[in-house]
């Protein structure tokens, strides 16, 4: 949620920044007009309240002067004004709700470092890494045995059971089995162990209240992509970012607490509305998946370092797994609603011949903290909103897909990366 003060005092610059991400000027003007009307209604209600208060004082004076007739006349006027005040207050409250509703639909302003662009075609590749690059090796090529899609490999080795998952839950759900399930579990344990030096592990619920979903910006804008449990007014979380952002909702944090770094592994649920026919085979786009998330509350001065740390950790995992990846600086037209700046990491999967997004690391400024009302106490005693940063480290379905394709050997078996073998009882191959 943006600072309404910017709408009042810096409208033209705010409009310019939001135009970079395609937000229509008319919507911002609607918010401005609603805010003007709301403030006028508040003034009207407060004026009437002051008049009622003054009449009450005059009634008291009339009573003390034993002028009962005047007191009754003043009381009648006061009652009439009281009714008008109540009606004016109701109008102001309704307009206040309109301002909030409109503001919740305004996206964050992109940072100055975010590239200009309209959509994913304008994202900027800034870096690429592959195994052996540091020693001067050329970017890898892949044999025919690696050009096999992960769903075929999973079926051949009994690692994926998509048919049963569809029978149980419908399309775009998957089931891992045997060593396929153990591989995913190994990835989770490996990642969490890598982060335990600086991030406190949290095991949150897989459902969230509406207020919790509002805090991250997933509601109301993206509600069509969320799974609702309407009977209990709950939502299935789409990412671990949702509960982590609200861990300190409504609190004022001490400066010396910051940064607060948290990590979690959660089931993530996404309806993927409108994705029919778009990379929906195998593990490329699914309704439910596991993801390890990294998150930080920080001061504005700490935000850049927090973002760099999460990004570095995600990249380090990819390097240890030996996966070729690239770094994309997302343009203003492609960053998420709540983000000021986002860097994506994509791995190359030779079996499907695609770059697959496996991590998205974002800095949100104070946008989410305004929604969640998370502040910190500054040195002068005043309070300010914290900044939030989060990123995947990592999301497993596409990592799993890339791993089995890249590590498929000529005899059809899969070589287990060295760093995962301790989590698989020393197993070096999957057959």
- Report which of 371, 342, 359 is spatially closest to residue 21, judged by C-alpha positions: 342
Residues 141 and 240 in one domain: yes
Residues 99 and 148 in one domain: no
Residues 226 and 374 in one domain: yes
CA distance 392 to 321: 15
Residues 89 and 131 in one domain: no
Read off the CATH number of the domain in which 316 is found: 3.30.930.10
| Burial class of 225 by CB neighbour count within 10 A (0 to 12, 13 to 18, 19+) | middle
The H-assigned helical ranges of 239-335 are: 241-245, 303-321
Q: What is the pLDDT of residue 275?
A: 65
| Burial class of 229 by CB neighbour count within 10 A (0 to 12, 13 to 18, 19+) | exposed
Q: What is the pLDDT of residue 272?
A: 86
Residues 96 and 127 in one domain: no
Residues 77 and 182 in one domain: no
Residues 238 and 211 in one domain: yes
CA distance 429 to 1: 49
For 234-248, what is the HEC assignment?
EEECCCCHHHHHCCC
Q: What is the pTM of this model?
A: 0.94
* Domain annotation covers residue 109: no
* Domain annotation covers residue 152: yes
Residues 362 and 405 in one domain: yes
Decide: 404 and 160 in contact? Cβ < 8 Å.
Answer: no
Domain hosting residue 162, numbered range: 120-430
Length of the chain: 431
**Residue in the structure block whose two tokens are 């380090």:** 316
Residues 65 and 8 in one domain: yes
Beta strands of 87-141 (E only): which ranges?
A: 124-129
Q: Among 75, 103, 131, where does a domain finish?
A: 103
* Domain annotation covers residue 89: yes
Q: What is the pLDDT of residue 58?
A: 94
Residues 250 and 380 in one domain: yes
Per-residue pLDDT of the chain (431 residues; tens, 9 = 90+): 999 999 999 999 999 999 999 999 999 999 999 999 999 999 999 999 999 999 999 999 999 999 999 989 999 999 999 999 999 999 999 999 999 999 999 999 999 999 999 999 999 999 999 999 999 999 999 999 999 999 999 999 999 999 999 999 999 999 999 999 999 999 999 999 999 999 999 999 999 999 999 999 999 999 999 999 999 999 999 999 999 999 999 999 999 999 999 999 999 999 987 666 567 789 999 999 999 999 999 999 999 999 999 999 999 999 999 999 999 999 999 999 999 999 999 999 999 999 999 999 999 999 999 999 999 999 999 999 999 999 999 999 999 999 999 999 999 999 999 999 999 999 999 99
* Domain annotation covers residue 113: no
* Domain annotation covers residue 175: yes
Strands of the sheet containing 260-269, edge to edge, are 124-129, 325-329, 341-349, 354-363, 387-395, 288-298, 260-269, 200-202
* Domain annotation covers residue 110: no
Residues 184 and 217 in one domain: yes
Read off the CATH number of the domain in which 95 is found: 1.10.287.40
* Domain annotation covers residue 115: no
Q: Among 42, 75, 103, where does a domain finish?
A: 103
- Report which of 151, 142, 153, 161 is spatially closest to residue 411, judged by C-alpha positions: 153
Q: Among 76, 103, 130, where does a domain finish?
A: 103
Residues 133 and 170 in one domain: yes
For 170-216, what is the HEC assignment?
CCCCCCECCHHHHHHHHHHHHHHHHHCCCCEEECCCCEEEHHHHHHH
Domain count, the chain: 2
Q: What is the pLDDT of residue 91?
A: 97
CA distance 129 to 110: 27
* Domain annotation covers residue 108: no
């Amino acid at each position: 949620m943006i600072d309404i003060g910017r709408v009042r005092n810096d409208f033209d610059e705010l409009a310019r920044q939001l135009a970079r991400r395609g937000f229509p000027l008319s919507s911002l003007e609607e918010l401005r007009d609603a805010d003007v009307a709301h403030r006028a209604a508040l003034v009207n209600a407060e004026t009437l309240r002051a008049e009622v208060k003054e009449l009450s004082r005059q009634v008291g004076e009339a009573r003390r002067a034993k002028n009962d007739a005047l007191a009754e006349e003043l009381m009648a006027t006061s009652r009439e004004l009281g009714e008008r005040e109540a009606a004016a207050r109701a109008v102001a409250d309704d307009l206040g709700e309109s301002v909030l509703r409109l503001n919740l639909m305004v996206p964050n302003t992109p940072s100055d470092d975010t590239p200009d662009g309209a959509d994913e075609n304008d994202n900027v590749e800034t870096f690429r890494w592959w195994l052996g690059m540091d020693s001067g090796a050329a970017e890898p090529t892949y044999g025919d045995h690696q050009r096999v899609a992960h769903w075929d490999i999973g079926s051949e080795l009994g690692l994926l059971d998509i048919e049963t998952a569809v029978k149980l839950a419908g399309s775009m759900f998957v089931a891992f089995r045997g060593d396929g399930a153990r591989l995913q579990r190994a990835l989770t344990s490996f990642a969490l162990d890598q982060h335990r030096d600086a991030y406190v592990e949290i095991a949150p619920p897989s459902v969230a209240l509406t207020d919790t979903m509002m805090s991250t910006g997933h509601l109301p804008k993206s509600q069509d992509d969320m799974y609702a449990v309407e009977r209990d007014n709950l939502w299935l979380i789409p990412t671990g970012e949702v509960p982590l952002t609200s861990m300190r909702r409504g609190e004022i944090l001490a400066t010396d607490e910051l940064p607060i770094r948290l990590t979690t592994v959660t089931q993530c649920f996404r309806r993927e509305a409108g994705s029919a026919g778009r990379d929906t085979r195998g593990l490329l786009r699914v309704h439910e998946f596991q993801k390890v998330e990294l998150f930080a509350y920080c001061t504005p001065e700490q935000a850049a370092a927090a973002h760099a740390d999460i990004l570095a950790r995600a990249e380090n995992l990819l390097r240890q797994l030996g996966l070729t990846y690239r770094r994309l600086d997302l343009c203003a037209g492609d960053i998420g609603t709540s983000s000021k700046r986002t860097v994506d990491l994509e791995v190359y999967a030779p079996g499907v011949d695609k770059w697959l997004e496996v991590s998205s690391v974002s800095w949100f400024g104070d946008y989410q903290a305004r929604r969640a009302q998370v502040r910190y106490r500054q040195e002068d005693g005043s309070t300010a909103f914290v900044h939030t940063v989060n990123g995947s480290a990592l999301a497993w379905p596409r990592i799993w897909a890339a791993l089995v394709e890249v590590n498929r050997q000529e005899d059809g078996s899969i070589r287990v990366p060295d760093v995962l073998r301790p989590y698989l009882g020393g197993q070096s191959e999957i057959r």
